Structure 1
Amino acid sequence: MTTHLEALQGALASALGERVATTVALGEITLVVKADDYHAVMQTLRDNAALGFDTLIDLCGVDYSTYGEGTWEGPRFAAVTHLLSVKHNWRVRVRVFCPDDDMPLVQSVTDIWRAANWYEREAFDLYGILFEGHSDLRRILTDYGFIGHPFRKDFPVSGYVEMRYDAEQKRVIYQPVTIEPRENVPRVIREEKYGMK
């Protein structure tokens, strides 16, 4: 008798074949897809009756530039998607790496799952990942005049500019950051018998 996870692995292997690399860790399946195959694989994951991943739970960007304490040698940016099949009660994670670090670009999946719309906008805003075919790819969390992408590992902690309201000009203005860098030392409270009864 096969387990739930083995049944999912079998269904994925027969539907997707060699287009994906599959890993299993901690009871979860991760599919790594090449950027060229990404849209077609996602379409198959939704439309194949044996799979039926009808719900996109989450999509986020990842910056791997300092992954593994700097030992990572692969592409810098990836988009990671979590899918759910309500019919089969299956979950899967799909990771696609952007082939170009200078212009991270992958295909949009908003035509497959409408829920991807704001998630892709967030990944664009925070990581600079571009989603080809997205109908309204613009900032969603930062201001439209914001410079850079704040979740990138090389983005400065204090940012580049700050905005404030100028009463004389009666408008919001941008100016260079005036925050002085400081080092915070956390206060540690130690109790001898903490957590013991």
Structure 2
Amino acid sequence: MTDFAIAPEALQKQIQETLGAKARSVTVALGEVTVVVPAADYLEAARLLRDAPGCRFEQLIDLCGVDYSDYREGEWEGERFCVVSHLLSVSLNQRVRLKVFVPNEDLPVVDSLTGIWNAATWFEREAFDLYGIVFEGHDDLRRLLTDYGFIGHPFRKDFPVSGHVEMRYDAEQKRVIYQPVSIEPREITPRVIREDNYGGLH
């Protein structure tokens, strides 16, 4: 294992040479390298990042979904959904961020990384649950954080912040059930504290 990681600009150059046309962009910001690849080249780019001698990213340490629909106050014109992975090379002491924008907002589908890094299994289940991104090739793509009967994907920007149903466990039916909310929705108004209410005490 090396003592120090190479400079981000050197890693940027190495990744650009390794991926070639499979990379839409390879950029450096705040000392971190970010690679954006097209969905069609996602799997092959991931394999190259894992196996190429100058990359050797043996570990996937994080993967999540992103909804860009409200990015920069709605000025975003690219694909709505993105999958972001963080890769680590233990042997070369370096990291990279891998991004792929997912085509088709109505049914976002992208290849699964589980065949390359087994650690992607639960991360992809979470992204499916929260964003509705389907990972093709994942052999157990089920909800992870919400109930199996849950409707919708709660991290999408258009998911309602207040609902009309609540869920609870029913001991007689021995399962989770949904029912209309039992309390009236109300507007929460922030409390304003004014200094003059304290009579000049500090």
**1:181 matched to which residue of 2?**
186
Using the TM superposition, give the Cα deviation of residue 7 of structure 1 relative to its aligned residue in structure 2, in angstroms.
2.0
Report the equivalent of 2:136: 132
Cα deviation 1:57-114 (Å, max 9, x = unaligned): 1000000000000101111001000001111111110110111000011000000000
Q: Which residue of 2 aligns with 1:19?
A: 22
**Deviation of the 1:185 alpha carbon:** 1.1
What amino acid does structure 2 have at the position aligned with 1:107?
Answer: D
CA distance in 2, matches of 1:184, 1:86: 50
Aligned residues: 188
Q: CA deviation at 1:10?
A: 2.0
Distance 2:134 2:193 in 1: 42
1:123 and 2:127 aligned: yes
1:100 to 98, 101, 104: 104
Q: Once structures 1 and 2 are overlaid, which stretch shifts more, 9-18 or 59-68?
A: 9-18
Using the TM superposition, give the Cα deviation of residue 18 of structure 1 relative to its aligned residue in structure 2, in angstroms.
2.0
Gaps of 5+ in 1: 191-197
- Greater alpha carbon shift after TM alignment, 124-133 vs 178-187: 178-187
Instruction: Find the counterpart in structure 1 of residue 43 from structure 2.
Output: 39
Does residue 78 in structure 1 map to residue 88 in structure 2?
A: no
Distance (Å, rounded) in 1 between the aligned partners of 2:31 and 2:9: 10
Cα 1:174–1:106, aligned 2, differ >3 Å: closer, same or farther? same
**Matched-pair contact (CA < 8 Å) for 2:131–2:156:** yes
Counterparts in 2 of 1:161 and 1:9: CA distance versus 1, 3 Å: same
TM-score by length of structure 2 reads: 0.86
Sequence identity percentage:
63
Residue matched to 1:194 = none
Structure 2 letter corresponding to 1:110 = T
Superposed CA RMSD: 2.0
DSSP-derived class of the 2:98 partner: strand
TM-score (norm 1): 0.88
Runs of 4+ in 1 over 3 A off after TM superposition: 165-172, 186-190
